[in-house]
């Protein structure tokens, strides 16, 4: 009798478990910590992308160009290093500046500080690179006088492109982050004007890996090939592809723990980067420097530029040089700001 009852209970438990296993609602997220899951972030990002398709950003480079990469600034009340990164980029005429996530620690006032900083940096950027032609409109200094493209201030793209990090999404930080940057999963094309009048395309891919997984929606979109950029004959339209993602794949040092990606997702990413023919993938998250080449793809994991974690001046940024012939090199960039 007792055995029958026990078997019945076990059978019920098995059926319940099977039902749960097949249910999308099963998630430990509600048990451990509340926040905006990667699925929702990517869905919001895709919606934003579709609604702003006509505003898609194209960067234009005249032959050689450089860009600047920084990671894990963890802006609090002290935004010195973040300010320095933007100043360096402006001073040295980098085409764009990429940030690898954990841009600010999650507090509303820190994002207010960050937003003010970016507004001020944009103002300096516009002042250097544009001239005002009337009360409302600007023309790029690179634009020929014959047919200038007139832009209002809000239409000028400040070329600062971040990915979202895990510290950006805790305690509902996504609301703060997305209010400034809108999208956590996006791409940008760089049109490179070559000497012979020809041009080439370089590809920038920004992934949302803040949760230690890309999540089903993002993986499905990638598997559908939305970032592949292929011509009808199957060949890639891109000369170089650069990937920017928060969570690291490789361990910076022998004695440190490796990535938080699960086994399958690690192998999926390594394989996908190879399929995209990625020139260089940039990661952050672990606050330690690492460089390696795996299966033809170069991986750079950047140290944190946060004053709290690295109070002394140091080489916390990376500048990537893309030559007009397509060759890519990188060099460290020194930061002088000390912790206040």
Partner 1 sequence: MKKHSLALAIALLASSLAWGQTYSGSRAYDGEHRNVIDGTLLGGQNVVTGWFIGETAIYTRHLTDRWSVSAGEQVQFFKQLYSVDVMGTYRLPLGRTNLYFDGRLLFNRYDRWNVNEPIVNLSAYWETDYVDLRLGESLVRYHKIGVKEEYRDYTTTGYTEPLVMTFGLGVNIRPRSNPWNLGLFLRNFDQFYYENWNINWGVRFHATLSAAMKLYGEFNVRPAGSMSQLATRYETSLKLGLHYVL
The residues binding partner 1 (CB under 8 A) are 6-7, 10, 13-14, 17-18, 20-22, 24, 26-29, 32-33, 35, 37-38, 166-167, 169-170, 210-216, 219, 247, 250-251, 254-268, 270-271, 292-297
Closest CB to partner 1 among 63 and 326? 326
Q: How far is the CB of 136 from partner 1 (least distance, A)?
A: 43
- Which alpha helices (H) appear in 239-293, and where do they start and end? 263-275
Q: How far is the CB of 289 from partner 1 (least distance, A)?
A: 17
Retrieve residue 50's tokens.
Answer: 């579709």
Closest CB to partner 1 among 16 and 47? 16
171 contact partners, CB below 8 Å, separation of at least 6: 35, 106
Rounded distance between C-alpha atoms, residue 297 and residue 319, angstroms? 18
Closest CB to partner 1 among 235 and 295? 295
Query: At CB < 8 A and 24+ separation, what contacts does 296-299 make?
Result: 297/270, 297/273, 299/249, 299/250
Closest CB to partner 1 among 306 and 317? 306
Q: Please choose, from the candidates 151, 158, 156, the residue with its C-alpha nearest in 3D space to the C-alpha of residue 115.
A: 158
Q: How far is the CB of 264 from partner 1 (least distance, A)?
A: 5
Q: How far is the CB of 184 from partner 1 (least distance, A)?
A: 13
Q: How far is the CB of 287 from partner 1 (least distance, A)?
A: 12
Q: CA angle 233-234-237, nearest 5°?
A: 100
Closest CB to partner 1 among 66 and 166? 166
Rounded distance between C-alpha atoms, residue 164 and residue 48, angstroms? 15
Q: How far is the CB of 20 from partner 1 (least distance, A)?
A: 7
Closest CB to partner 1 among 169 and 227? 169
Q: How far is the CB of 32 from partner 1 (least distance, A)?
A: 5
Burial 31-56 (b: 16+ CB within 10 A, else e): eeeebbbbbebbbbbbebbeeeeeee
Q: Are strands 328-335 and 314-322 parallel, antiparallel or unpaired?
A: antiparallel
Closest CB to partner 1 among 231 and 254? 254
335 contact partners, CB below 8 Å, separation of at least 6: 81, 84, 85, 88, 305, 313, 314, 315, 316, 317
């Amino acid at each position: 009798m007792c055995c029958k009852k026990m078997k019945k209970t076990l059978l019920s438990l098995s059926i319940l478990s099977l039902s749960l296993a097949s249910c999308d609602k099963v998630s430990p997220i509600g048990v451990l910590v509340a926040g905006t899951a990667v699925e929702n972030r990517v869905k919001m990002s895709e919606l934003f992308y579709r609604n702003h398709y006509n505003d898609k950003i194209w960067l234009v480079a005249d032959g050689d160009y450089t860009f600047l990469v920084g990671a894990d600034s963890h802006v609090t009340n002290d935004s010195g290093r973040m300010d320095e990164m933007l100043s360096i980029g402006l001073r040295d005429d980098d085409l764009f500046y990429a940030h690898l996530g954990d841009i600010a620690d999650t507090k509303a006032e820190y994002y207010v500080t960050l937003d003010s900083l970016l507004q001020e940096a944009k103002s300096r950027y516009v002042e250097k690179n544009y001239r005002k032609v009337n009360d409302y409109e600007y023309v790029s200094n690179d634009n020929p006088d014959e047919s200038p493209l007139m832009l209002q201030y809000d239409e000028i793209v400040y070329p600062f492109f971040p990915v979202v990090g895990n510290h950006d999404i805790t305690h509902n930080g996504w609301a703060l982050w997305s209010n400034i940057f809108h999208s956590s999963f996006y791409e940008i094309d760089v049109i490179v004007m070559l000497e012979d009048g020809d041009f080439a395309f370089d590809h920038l891919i920004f992934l949302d890996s803040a949760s230690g997984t890309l999540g089903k929606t993002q993986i499905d979109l990638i598997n559908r090939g939305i970032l592949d950029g292929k011509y009808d004959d199957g060949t890639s339209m891109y000369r170089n592809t650069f990937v920017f993602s928060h969570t690291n794949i490789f361990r910076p040092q022998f004695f440190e723990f490796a990535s938080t990606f699960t086994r399958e997702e690690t192998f999926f990413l390594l394989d996908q980067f190879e399929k995209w023919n990625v020139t260089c993938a940039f990661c952050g998250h672990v606050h330690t420097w690492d460089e390696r080449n795996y299966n033809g793809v170069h991986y750079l994991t950047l140290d944190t530029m946060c004053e709290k974690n690295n109070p002394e001046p140091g080489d916390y940024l990376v500048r990537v040089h893309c030559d007009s012939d397509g060759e890519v090199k990188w060099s460290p960039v020194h930061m002088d700001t000390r912790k206040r």
